[in-house]
Amino acid sequence: MSDTGYLPKEKIKDFLKELAKDAVVYAPCLEGDIVLFRPFSEERTLCLDRPANTPPKSVIYPQSETLFAFQYKKAPEDHQKMSVELKADIGVPNMVIFGARPCDAKGFRIYDRVFIETNTPDPYYRKRRENTLIVTLSCAAPSPGCFCVAVGGGPAHKEGSDVMMTELEGGYVIEPVTEKGRAILGKHVIEDGKPYLKDAQHVQAKAHDEVRNPFAPDELPKISQSLFNFDGFWEQVVGKCVSCGACTYLCPTCYCFNITDEQGIGSGERVRSWDACMFFHFTLEASGHNPRPTKFQRFKNRVGHKFIYYPEKYEGVIACCGCGRCIRYCPVNVDISEIVNYLKDTHQELHWASSRKEGTQPTVGSTKDE
């Protein structure tokens, strides 16, 4: 068997039907003007022309999930005593994420380090991750705002994927990345892809060269700690943010959550739901005190987590995949790549330090000589 497959475009639905025999297949589907990952069916319109508006992270890491149910029961021998019965169900079907982008797949690797590669693995996330096959589609061209190459990724980056597909004029070249992905090559609609491999590599290289790198010539951004810790900088760059939280919910690498008990009379559920550091109540304490009471402090935490704290803990890995969704869909055009670029600029650091001494308020992006 060849190490590379080829899927003719006219057979793509047959391919998805074959995958659906053994798993629930999530694919990017057109709903109105937006593209969302939905369970595949012939009634839905498959859309591979552009990245989905939302990443497929909810397939493996649901926006809201019940961790367990609980029920209070009185002890039959003594009604003054109460016991609690817990019931957890982590049964997960086999699933396929089809048509995700490399940045989406890389996002799952960010989660893996937190939820699996630890002394206390999360059984819910781990089970879904193990039962999910991730088939990604390399990007033929950059989307507005994306900067994946600047954070260690790329339009054909394979980290986190089980299978990589590359679109050619008549079909898709299929490259297995893991042993789990290699089973794809055995599907009857898959042809030998070896004759098309060089064309696919050419498409991948061309797309890579077209992606912007806001941090060039640096390989990865290195943030100025003194500028990062200067409140005046954040007050200015985040002044227009409306704290809607869209950047967090659309991000393939954000994983913060909250846990609540939804309780009725005698029974209830413990529920885990996505949370967002851009919301005021994110670190609000029961006493009413909030250690991050202002918008700029919350955005500073968002940037710091992705570009400082996570890299410090996980051997330099940046917790941003550069997909650009937070830039494309921000209602007030806050650009995280632009902000990080300011933070790594030594001229900016000197400029802001000088302004602090003089008691003036500089403009982001300007220099002392302007």
Please state whether the peptide bond connecting residue 217 to the residue before it is cis, i.e. omega within 30 degrees of 0: yes
Could you tell me which residues come within 8 angstroms of residue 30 by beta carbon, excluding any fewer than 6 positions away?
Answer: 44, 45, 46, 47
- Mean pLDDT per block of 10 residues along the chain (370 residues) reads 88 95 96 96 94 96 95 81 88 96 97 97 96 98 94 96 97 96 92 95 96 86 85 88 93 95 90 93 89 91 95 95 96 94 70 58 47
d(CA 44, CA 47): 9
Check residue 366 and give its pLDDT: 44
Check residue 370 and give its pLDDT: 35
pTM for the whole thing? 0.90
d(CA 256, CA 32): 30
Q: Are 108 and 57 in contact (CB under 8 A)?
A: yes
d(CA 209, CA 355): 38
Could you tell me which residues come within 8 angstroms of residue 119 by beta carbon, excluding any fewer than 6 positions away?
Answer: none
Check residue 346 and give its pLDDT: 56
10 Å Cβ neighbour count for 22? 12
Cα angle: 341, vertex 347, 351; to 5 degrees: 110
Would you call 53 exposed, middle or buried from its count of C-beta atoms within 10 A (0-12, 13-18, 19+)?
middle
Check residue 369 and give its pLDDT: 35
